Amino acid sequence: MSTLKIRRFGVALLSALVLISSSFAQPASQPKASPLGAIPGKAPLVLQLRGLEAAPKRLGATLAAALPDLAAPINGMLQGGLKSLPFMDGRDLAAIDLNAPVFLVISSLEDLTGDEPPQPAILLPVKDYAAFKKGVLTDDERGTLKKDGPSEAVEINGKTVYLYPTAGYLVVTTNKDNIAAFLRKDVRLNAVMPEGVAASFLNNDGAVYLSLAAINQQYGDTLQTIKTVIELGLAQGGNIDPKQAEAVKAVFNGLIQGITDGTGLVLATDFKPVGLDLHFHIGFGKETDTSDALAKLTPGPLPAIGTLPKGQLSYAVIKMDEALRRSLEGLTQLGSSDDEKIAEILEESLKEYLGAGLTESLSATSFPAKGIEVAIMKQPAKAKVAMLKIYKALVAESEFQGLPLIAKPKITEKAGTVEGVDFTGVELKIDSAKLLDDPQIPEQAKMLLEPLLKKLVPDSLKLWIGASDKALITVTAPNWEEAKKTATAYLTGKDTLATDKGYQAVRSALPKDANMMLFVDGGRSVASLIETIANVANDSGMVPFQIPVPAAPKGPAGFIGATITLSEGSAQGNLLLSAESIKAIRAVVMPLVQQLRGGIQ
C-alpha cells in the first residue's frame, strides 16, 4: 500500500498497524471469550495479526537461524517496534493490548471489486477507550473529537476517522458505513467459523480468512459455468483415455463441489524457531457431500516414512484408506497399450494389484532415477505377481507410467536376495524421443526440450521388485550392487530417515497426524536441479556464457516438509521451510549468482 493511500485511510497509528500486519506477528494468550465475537459473521474477508509486542524477537529468532549474516541489521531495525516509527512520536500505546490479536475487516466483497480503494475497519484490542484517546491521539486530534451517532469522529491529517468500542476492541475506520456492520445484532464470526478453522486463524502469527459462503453467494453461477465448460471439454475426448477423462472429470467436479460446500478458507503463516510455516485450512458444511467424503478418511502419524533409508533427495508417504484407494483407481494407470488384448491384461493386472490391500505408499527418490518405493500391503506376494504380469504384458510401443517403450521389458526372475527377500529384475528401454513426437509441440520448443529430456529421462530404467511379509518393495538403481545396498538399508532398518536430526526437527514442528507427507532436502534438490539445467544449457550453447555448476551442500540435510490432513468437515495443509533448508538453498544459489554476474559482465 502506497504512502498516499495510507494517508487517505487516516491515522498515523493505522499506518503502522497495516504495514506491520503484513509481516510481523507474535504468539499471544487467547482471551477467554473468543476475539472473533467482536467481528460480524457475514464479513467476507478478515486479516489477523497475533499480537505486536514480541514480534521483533520472534521474527528475529527465525531470521537468525535462517539468514544469520542478515539477521543483525534487520533485528536492529525491529527492536524498537512500533514506537520507533517516525509517525509514532508522542503517541502512547499503553492502552492497546500488544499481546492480543489485531484484525482488519472487509465488510463486503464490493469493497474489493469497486473502483475506489477499500476502506477496511481495523479492530484494535484496547483495554481502556478513554486511555486510548488520551494516549494515542495528539492534543490537536482530541480537539476535533465529536459524537457521531453511536461512534465518535476525529480529524486526523485532514481525514475523518470513526471510532467505536465493542467487545474489548476498538473499531477504527475511515468509512462510516463500516460501523453499521458492527452495530447489527447479527451472528458473530465465532459462531460461523468451525472450531478447527478458528484455531488455524487465531493460532498463527498472521492469517487471512475468506468466507466461502460469501463467494458462493456472489459467484456460485460462475463456478457452475466453469464446471460445465470442463465437462464439455473432457467430453470431446481428444487423445485422453475415456476412463482417465472420467477420473479427471471427477477430480474437477470434486474441487468445484468442495468450494460449493465450503464455509471458510484460512491462509496463514507462523514464525517458528525451526523455520517458516505456511498453512491453509478449509472448513466444510455439515452433511455436505464433501464433508461426508472426508469423513471416510483417517489421518495418522505415518511413522513408516521414517523407516526409509536416509540420504535421498525426497521422501513421501500417503495413507491409503479404502475410500481414497477407490477414488484413485480411475487415475492409476501403470501401463497402457493400443493393442486391445494387451490393454485388457494390463487392466486386469492393475485390479489384482489394487486388490492386494494397499494401506500405505512410501517412496524415497533421488536424481537421476534412483530410489526405493515401498507399498505396505495386506498381500505383498499377490501384488508382486500382479506387477510382474504388467511388465510381462508390455511390448515395444507400449507405455509404462506415461513413458513409451522401445522394446519389450527384460525380466530376470532371480536377480538377487536381500535379507530373505527375493528380487526380480526388470529393465525398461525408454524411447525418450517419442515424448516429443507430437505435432502440437512447436519445432523450436522441441529443440529446447530434447537435451533436457535426455538428462531427465534415462534410456534404460532398471528396477528390482521384491515382496516381504508386509510390503512390495521396488528399488530403482543403475546396477544390482546399488539396488542391494538400498534394499539392505530398508530391510535391516539401519541408517534410516528417522535418525536424521534435520528430519526430526521438521517432523516435530508439523501436525502430528496427516494423510500425506512430503520431505525434500532443499539444498541438495536445488543444487541437482541447477546442475541439470546448467549442463543442458552449456552443452547446447543456449546462452553466450558458461553457467557454473554449483557444489552440493555439505553437512546435515535441511528439509522442507509438507503435510495434508483430511478429516470430516476439514481439509488442511502445512508447508514448513526450515531454517536449515533456507541456509542450504542460499549457500547453493548465492555463489552461482555472483559467478553469473561476473560472467555476464
The DSSP call for residue 40 is B
Is it the case that residue 23 has pLDDT exceeding 50? no
The CB density around residue 453, as the number of other CB atoms within 10 Å, is: 15
User: So what's the pLDDT on residue 234?
Assistant: 65
Cα–Cα distance between 40 and 192 in angstroms, integer?
9
List of residues 6+ apart from 601 with CB closer than 8 A: none
Q: Is residue 222 very low, low, confident or very high in pLDDT (cuts 50, 70, 90)?
A: confident
User: So what's the pLDDT on residue 601?
Assistant: 45
Of 9-18, 92-101, 308-317, 540-549, minimum mean pLDDT range: 9-18
Is it the case that residue 280 has pLDDT exceeding 50? yes
pTM summary value: 0.85
Q: Is residue 11 very low, low, confident or very high in pLDDT (cuts 50, 70, 90)?
A: very low
In tens, the pLDDT along 133-171 reads 999 998 999 999 999 989 999 998 889 999 999 989 999
Report CA 364 to chain centroid distance, whole Å: 20
User: So what's the pLDDT on residue 82?
Assistant: 61
Closest CA to 226 of 184, 267, 255: 255
Q: Which residues pair with 430 in a beta bridge?
A: 405
C-alpha cell at 361: 505408499
What amino acid is encoded at 567 in this protein?
S
User: So what's the pLDDT on residue 72?
Assistant: 72
Q: Is residue 79 very low, low, confident or very high in pLDDT (cuts 50, 70, 90)?
A: low
Average pLDDT score, the chain:
84
Is it the case that residue 600 has pLDDT exceeding 60? no
Q: Is residue 504 very low, low, confident or very high in pLDDT (cuts 50, 70, 90)?
A: very high
548 three-class SS? coil
User: So what's the pLDDT on residue 38?
Assistant: 92
Give the H or E element holding residue 173: strand 169-173
Of 276-280, 366-370, 450-454, minimum mean pLDDT range: 450-454
Backbone conformation region of residue 309, classed left if phi is above 0, alpha if psi is from -120 to 50, else beta: beta
Rg of the Cα atoms in the chain: 29
Mean pLDDT of 335-364: 87
Of 23-32, 452-461, 523-532, 563-572, minimum mean pLDDT range: 23-32
The CB density around residue 184, as the number of other CB atoms within 10 Å, is: 10
C-alpha cell at 304: 513408516
Mean pLDDT of 273-280: 94
Q: What Å distances lie between residue 63 and 50, 73, 78, 276, 593, CA to CA?
A: 19, 11, 12, 10, 21
For the chain, domain boundaries:
35-52+88-192, 303-499
List of residues 6+ apart from 444 with CB closer than 8 A: none
| DSSP secondary structure string for all residues of 332-371 | --SEE-SSHHHHHHHHHHHHHHHTTTEEEEEEEEETTTEE
List of residues 6+ apart from 471 with CB closer than 8 A: 374, 375, 376, 377, 380
Cα–Cα distance between 475 and 459 in angstroms, integer?
17
Cβ atoms of residues 477 and 486 within 8 Å? yes
User: So what's the pLDDT on residue 158?
Assistant: 86
> Which sign, positive or negative, has the C-alpha torsion 343, 379, 374, 417?
negative
Cα–Cα distance between 129 and 78 in angstroms, integer?
27
Q: Is residue 17 very low, low, confident or very high in pLDDT (cuts 50, 70, 90)?
A: very low
Per residue, what are the HEC states of 64-131? HHHCHHHHHHHHHHHCCHHHHCHHHCCCCCCCECCCCEEEEEECCCHHHHCCCCCCCEEEEEECCHHH
C-alpha cell at 205: 502469527
The CB density around residue 340, as the number of other CB atoms within 10 Å, is: 8
